[in-house]
Amino acid sequence: MRQIFPEQGPDLEPAPKPTAGPLPTVVTQLALLYGNGAAADPATDTARGWVQANMVASADGAVTLDGRSGGLSGPADRTVFTVLRSLADVVLVGAGTARTEHYRPVRATQIWSALRAGRAALPPIAVVTASLDLTGCEPLLAGPAGSTQTLVITTSAAPADRKAAIAGVARVIEAGTDRVDIGAALGALASLGYLRVLVEGGPVLLGHLIDAGLLDELCLTVSPTLAAGSAGRIVSSASPGSLSAARLSLAHVLTDDDFLLCRYLIR
């Protein structure tokens, strides 16, 4: 792995799986590169925190290969994935993505513990669902209570029986009436101390964030793959007629084995 923009950097090997020991050099560098401008910055809006999205796409713009994003990933991308999760206070994901990607609570083997000083050992997953249909997301609801228990963000109009059932296995947050108000959701997370929000998809959730002007940065890995087919893009319009558009400013580019790992800040 090497930084090629804004300046050339030394070659760094992708790290092995996270351990509790000293940080490899590549992890230390990545934490500095991806940690700038986030919730620790005094200028951050503490009413909603700092919202960072992490996505992977093929060279022709596909967000999945054979229905999963994992087919587009590589060793360097997986290293960045562990660093971003280690820096996050909470991981925000849409229910559809949680279902398709078989989400589970974050595990200690996915985290560099030295990057979490002063915070909970593991970041919880927060799932966004207006309908509270979490079929296929059962592993997320099987974790223990406490600081890493899954959060479910829904609406006040969601079925009361489902809400009551899920409240027994997850922390339920209401944000909006008949559709999730993403601004209210971020405000609720911030009030709980989750100021650094890592968004891992899906495309509609990203569309909502962009429409509301609430996305602060995009970490995008471009996979050296042509996926073709009918796979969607990393962002879908949140509603008919919405543009889901934002102007990006390139912060850095890393390369590894023909992958491009880009970090953009939202202007």
Residue 25, sorted as left (phi over 0), alpha (psi -120 to 50) or beta, turns out to be alpha
**Which among 55, 41, 126 has a CA at the least distance from the CA of 84?**
55
CATH class of 45-266: alpha beta
**pLDDT higher than 80, residue 237:** no
Dump strand ranges (E) for 42-99. Answer: 50-58, 90-94
CA distance 175 to 207: 17
The residue ranges of every structural domain in the chain are 45-266
Identify the pLDDT of residue 145: 78
Average pLDDT over the chain reads 89
Write down the number of H helices and E strands in the chain: 6, 10
Q: How many CB atoms lie under 10 A from the CB of residue 264?
A: 19
Q: How confident is the model at residue 39 (pLDDT cuts 50, 70, 90)?
A: very low
261 pLDDT more than 70: yes
- pTM value is 0.92
Please give the pLDDT value at position 42: 45
First to last CA, the chain: 27
pLDDT band at 154 (very low <50, low <70, confident <90, very high): very high
Closest CA to 31 of 87, 76, 73, 85: 87
- In this predicted model, what pLDDT tens digit does every residue of 126-146 receive, in sequence order? 999 999 999 999 999 987 778
